[in-house]
């Protein structure tokens, strides 16, 4: 019973199953399910208290010497209130700072395509048709700050936390199926180029394309990102992808390579740059509002989870490395196989406690799921969990939104903000190590064999052999519709207009290597921009237009008298 109570307290609001929405669908009420309901004399459930449980009888005034002050140092109620306020914001995520989230459920089909899923993976959440697993999803933009407009050109994060019976599984990805780079050592450089200039504190197209023009593998991502695919209309109508290559492992310890894809059953919609600017002029929170209001109205968004499967070897017959995150596995060779459906059906009760403090990691896998040798995946697996320990704290997994909905017993102790011990019934609490003969924790029995791939080779620092940086980027250009090509060229020209000539020349050369028309149209657009014609797109990175806007603000402004 004590352990049950402890687990309930640990899971907190995330364990609430009832939708707390009421009224018009915008008001939210708390469940209070995780809290002690005892009250002091004269209190009821709605009485304001301090964090120490002290009833607050006057929340309007400091304690002062006379009603004009000065205030005294022993204003405990005020000091507790203001010192907590001073610390209300945890460090913002370096990437994926701007986000929205929702609760939901994943329902398994029990098969992969037409085959029994057990042939490929022993992960329990997939095995039985109709089996439901609670989930929490966080959508985000990647490179911009926590209060940036949701209309900016940027990849969108698509992270799903599955609260499975074997513990949590985090499927962390983006809306686009490829990435800029294939080696994790370049990630800080990539993000630095996209963040504001450390001197001027402004984003710069020149900085971004200075990195990209010297990183040819990024051309596939650029051909997506600077087209309308770089600005999804909202979070409900965009795809999701794990991006990285993972493995599935069956009950014999045999493995296959897999890629994960979320396909929205609401369809896919994207915006051109002018359309996004028109929306931003009215509402820079439009995607967050769209998600919350649709769920509140009962218009629950749904995605089908599909996988691509490939044998676990190097595949010399392909002209790319299957572990390369800048590449797409051709669907005609590796078809999308449905494995389940996700429905988002409940809004958060508190944005900070759930959406802001939720923490994902690419290393959070359950039995039957495993890592591939993907260099980006290897680097992300350390980085994601490490940044959560820095940002939220060493005990971030004890927060209700992050805690698994199952038994937890560890030998981890202490650290900032510890509020319970991960102990088991009957455990000797003096024993926080293993092995022990004094009623400590024991290892779980091994049910299935481990996946044990064989490795042999020299320890080196080298790029992969099959880079093939331009083929799929060129194919993507040719697959774009005419209006998508127009928007892509406008956005590239707008972003490159003020870049150094050497950067412009390199980008024209890279685009030409993708497709001759692609390079020719970019060159023509840059030539026209130099002749004095305004570049239509790319305002987000266009220094000339940004300077024009700054001057325009002063010219258009109305004078006011001092007061």
Residue whose C-alpha is closest to residue 264's, from 289, 220, 299: 299
Report percent pLDDT > 70 for the chain: 92
**Given pLDDT bands bounded at 50, 70 and 90, which one contains residue 17?**
very low
Higher pLDDT, 294 or 40: 294
Across the chain, mean pLDDT equals 88
- Which residues have C-beta within 8 Å of that of residue 235, sequence separation ≥ 6? 100, 139, 156, 287, 290, 291, 301
Lowest model confidence (mean pLDDT) among 142-146, 202-206, 209-213: 142-146
Q: Is 471 exposed, middle or buried (0-12, 13-18, 19+ CB in 10 A)?
A: middle
Q: What is the pLDDT of residues 78-130, one digit of tens each?
A: 887 777 777 877 888 888 989 999 999 999 999 998 999 999 999 999 999 99
Q: 99-203+232-398 maps to which CATH number? A: 2.40.180.10
Q: Give the per-residue pLDDT at 35.
A: 55
Longest pairwise C-alpha distance within the chain: 85
**Residue 25 — pLDDT band, cuts 50, 70, 90?**
very low
Model confidence band, residue 547 (pLDDT cutoffs 50, 70, 90): confident
Tell me: is residue 384 an annotated ligand-binding position: yes
Q: Strand pairing partners for 249? A: 255
d(CA 356, CA 252): 40
pTM of the model: 0.88
Give yes or no for a contact between 386 and 379, defined as CB atoms under 8 angstroms apart. no
Q: Which residues are catalytic?
A: 96, 174
Q: What is the band of 417 on the pLDDT scale with cuts at 50, 70, 90? A: confident
- How much is the average pLDDT of 243-248? 97
**Per-residue model confidence (pLDDT) at position 8:** 42
What's the 3-state SS for 150-187? CCCCCCEEEEEEEEECCEEEEEEEECCCCCCCCCHHHH
pLDDT at 257: 98
Residue 11 has pLDDT above 70, yes or no: no
Q: If pLDDT is split at 50, 70 and 90, which confidence band does 13 have?
A: very low
Q: What is the DSSP letter of 59?
A: S
The β-bridge partners of 60 are none
Is 19 a residue whose pLDDT tops 50? no
The answer on pLDDT for 57 being more than 90 is: no
Interval 270-298: pLDDT, tens: 999 999 999 999 999 999 999 999 999 99
Rounded to an integer, the average pLDDT of 344-355 is 97
State yes or no: pLDDT of 382 exceeds 50: yes
**What's the distance, Cα to Cα, between the start and end of the chain in Å?**
66
> What percent of the chain has pLDDT above 90?
62
Looking at per-residue pLDDT, the higher value among 3 and 40 belongs to: 40
Q: What are phi and psi of 499, to 5 degrees?
A: -80, 160
| Average pLDDT rounded to a whole number, residues 179-192 | 93
């Amino acid at each position: 019973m004590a352990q049950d109570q402890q687990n309930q307290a640990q899971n907190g609001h995330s364990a609430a199953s009832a939708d707390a929405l009421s009224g018009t669908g915008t008001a939210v009420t708390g469940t209070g399910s995780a809290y002690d309901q005892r009250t002091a004399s004269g209190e009821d459930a709605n009485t304001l208290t301090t964090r120490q449980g002290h009833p607050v009888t006057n929340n309007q005034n400091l304690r002062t010497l006379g009603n004009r002050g000065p205030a005294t140092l022993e204003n405990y109620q005020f000091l507790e209130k203001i010192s907590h306020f001073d610390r209300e914001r945890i460090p913002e995520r370096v990437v994926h700072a701007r986000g929205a989230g929702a609760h939901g459920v994943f329902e398994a089909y029990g098969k992969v395509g037409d085959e029994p899923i057990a042939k490929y993976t022993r992960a329990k959440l997939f095995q039985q048709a109709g089996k439901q697993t609670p989930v929490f999803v966080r959508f985000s933009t990647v490179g911009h700050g926590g209060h940036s407009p949701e209309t900016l050109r940027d990849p969108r994060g698509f992270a799903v936390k599955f609260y499975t019976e074997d513990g949590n599984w985090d499927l962390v990805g983006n809306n686009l199926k490829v990435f800029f780079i294939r080696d994790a050592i370049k990630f800080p450089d990539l993000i630095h180029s996209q963040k504001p200039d450390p001197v001027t504190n402004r984003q710069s197209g020149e900085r971004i394309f200075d990195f990209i023009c010297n990183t040819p593998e990024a051309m596939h991502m650029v051909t997506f990102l600077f087209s309308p695919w770089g600005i999804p209309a909202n979070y409900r109508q965009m795809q999701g992808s794990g991006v990285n290559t993972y493995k599935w492992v069956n009950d014999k310890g045999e493995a296959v390579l897999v890629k994960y894809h979320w396909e929205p059953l609401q369809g896919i919609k994207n915006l051109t740059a002018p359309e996004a600017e028109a929306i931003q002029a009215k509402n820079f929170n439009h995607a967050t509002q769209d998600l919350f209001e649709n769920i509140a109205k009962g218009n629950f968004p749904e995605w089908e989870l599909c996988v691509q499967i490939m044998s676990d070897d190097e595949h010399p017959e392909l002209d790319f490395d299957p572990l390369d995150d800048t590449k797409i596995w051709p669907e005609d060779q590796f078809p999308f196989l449905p494995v389940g459906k996700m429905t988002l059906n409940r809004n958060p009760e508190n944005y900070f406690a759930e959406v802001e403090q939720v923490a994902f990691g690419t290393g959070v896998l359950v039995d039957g799921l495993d890592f591939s040798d993907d260099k980006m995946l290897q680097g992300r697996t350390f980085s994601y969990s490490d940044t959560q320990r820095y940002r939220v704290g060493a005990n971030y997994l004890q927060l209700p939104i992050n805690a698994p909905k199952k038994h937890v017993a560890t030998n981890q102790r202490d650290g900032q903000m510890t509020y319970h011990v991960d102990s088991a019934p009957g455990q000797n609490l003096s024993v926080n190590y293993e092995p022990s003969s004094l009623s400590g924790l024991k290892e779980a029995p091994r049910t299935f064999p481990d996946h044990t791939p064989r490795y042999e080779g020299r320890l080196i620092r080298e790029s992969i052999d099959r880079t093939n940086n331009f083929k799929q980027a060129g194919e993507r250009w040719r697959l774009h519709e005419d209006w998508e090509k127009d928007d892509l060229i406008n956005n590239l020209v707008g972003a490159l207009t003020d870049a150094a000539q050497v950067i412009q020349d390199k980008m024209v050369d890279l685009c030409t290597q993708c497709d001759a028309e692609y390079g020719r149209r970019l060159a023509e657009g840059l030539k026209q921009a130099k002749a004095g014609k305004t570049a239509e797109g790319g305002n987000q990175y266009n220094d000339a237009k940004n300077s024009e806007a700054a001057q325009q603000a002063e010219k258009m402004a109305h004078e006011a008298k001092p007061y």
